[in-house]
Amino acid sequence: MNFKSCVTWKEIVQQPSIWKEEVQIVRDNLKAIGEFIEGVKADKVKVVFTGAGSSEFVGNTLCSYVNSKIDIDVVSIPTTDIVSMPEQYLDENTATILVSCARSGNSPESVAAVELADKLVKNIHHIFITCNAEGKLAQISKTGDNKFLLLMPEKTNDKGFAMTGSFSSMVVAGVLVLLRKDFEGMAARVEYVAELVERNIETILSNAEAIAALDIERIVYLGDGAAKGLAEEMSLKVLELTGGKLASFYNTFLGFRHGPKSIVNDKTAIVCMMSNNEHTRIYELDLLKEFKNEGGKKKIIVLDTINDEEVKANADFYFTFADEKLGQIEDVFADLAYLVCGQLVSLVKSASLGINPDNPCPTGEVNRVVKGVIIHEYNK
């Protein structure tokens, strides 16, 4: 199958232009959203990023970085957890900003999480980061002064099965909104990464094709900090687009030794996403050396921002952007370049298996917008 004829291909490669458009959208809304957030009056405010599936991974990707930059407590809790056990995640006496991330805005759990927060939290405010102006969350945003809608560009409402541009655009938006006091600095980083990916898209595709062509049964993505959230997202893309025919896993570099490493056999590819943090890279290199010393037929693939000969010497495949400026940008932005590679690996592998990446589950067990969820009344 020619993957370049797929909607998913178009939606992956258009992401850099979306990120630049996203910068302008947030810039246009900066004053209003700043006043909204600062209008939450409380001694302590908690920000909760929420969503399901890839939309959950938005918060998983950005929270650790954002928490290191601001005093407000920022956490990521999936809607699926909030809905099934709200008393463990929603505190009636803690002022909360619930940031609902959603492509369609129609998932039952997304709507139910908002309703539960309104019911259980005394001082509740909502920010909706969504890609669908007609979705239920976008409509809910019109129902009160405690709600703010940040609508993503129309083309982020992916028509393909898998979330691609919708996911990355919400990551960009989430960071820009919460770190708005350094907005222009953050915006410059996003725009630099976007332009770099645009210039290198054919090289990224070539690298992705090399990975997808490997004779493997399992693929593991490893990343630290923001890259852990991206590894989670890349792993899901593999499962979704190959219909589960290629098994995928994710972890951090250090975490991988603590049991999950058992997944590795001779038909496993391990994709290692190197951090720009010098301290973190020491630990990541240790694991690469361990893999090298173990031998075997597993394939060690490294994605990097800079040229690092020692890292290269411990990899079977070393794909680097070789860009010193990219190597100085925080991982939450720089690693978006890795994300595009991971998305393309899944796309190419899907097509090579004879699967339609735009509709990898035509029998309907898995859907673009989840079906079959029954929301039950919470009465406690």
The string of DSSP codes covering 275-323 is: -S-HHHHHHHHHHHHHHHHH-SS-EEEEEESS--HHHHHT-SEEEE---
pLDDT at position 286: 98
pLDDT, residue 161, reads 87
CA–CA gap between residue 124 and residue 367 (Å, rounded)? 31
What residue spans in the chain does CATH classification 3.40.50.10490 cover? 3-191, 200-352
Give the helix/strand (H/E) hosting 172. helix 165-178
For residue 234, what pLDDT is reported?
A: 98
Using alpha carbons only, give the angle 277, 232, 302 rounded to the nearest 5 degrees.
Answer: 50
In 3D space, the residue among 165, 264, 173, 267 whose CA is nearest the CA of residue 222 turns out to be 264
Range 3-191 has CATH code 3.60.9.10? no
CA 133 to CA 141: how far, in whole Å? 10
Q: What is the pLDDT along the chain (380 residues), one digit of tens a residue?
A: 789 999 999 999 999 999 999 999 999 999 999 999 999 989 999 999 999 999 999 999 999 999 999 989 999 999 999 999 999 999 999 999 999 999 998 999 999 999 999 999 999 999 999 999 999 999 999 999 999 999 999 999 988 989 999 999 999 999 999 999 999 999 999 999 999 999 999 999 999 999 999 999 999 999 999 999 999 999 999 999 999 999 999 999 999 999 999 999 999 999 999 999 999 999 999 999 999 999 999 999 999 999 999 999 999 999 999 999 999 999 999 999 999 999 999 999 999 999 999 988 766 656 656 667 888 999 87
Distance CA 292, CA 22 (A): 41
Instruction: State pTM to two decimals.
Output: 0.95
Pairing mode of beta strands 299-304, 268-273: parallel
Contact 356, 305 (CB under 8 A): no
Whole-angstrom distance, CA of residue 304 vs CA of residue 311:
9
Q: What CATH superfamily is the domain 200-352?
A: Glucose-6-phosphate isomerase like protein; domain 1 (3.40.50.10490)
Contact call for residues 121 and 94 (beta carbons, < 8 A): yes
What are 357's two structure tokens? 């990446």
Contacts of 344 by beta carbon, 8 Å cutoff, 6+ apart: 12, 204, 205, 208, 209
Q: CB of 236 within 8 A of CB of 57? A: yes
According to the model, what pLDDT value does residue 368 have?
Answer: 54
Q: Cα(131)–Cα(55) distance, rounded to whole angstroms?
A: 11
Find the angle CA(133)-CA(139)-CA(144) to the nearest 5 degrees: 130
pLDDT at residue 380, rounded to an integer: 74
Q: Is residue 83 a contact partner of residue 113, using CB atoms and an 8 Å limit?
A: yes
Q: 214, 177, 213, 230: which is closest to 340 by C-alpha?
A: 230
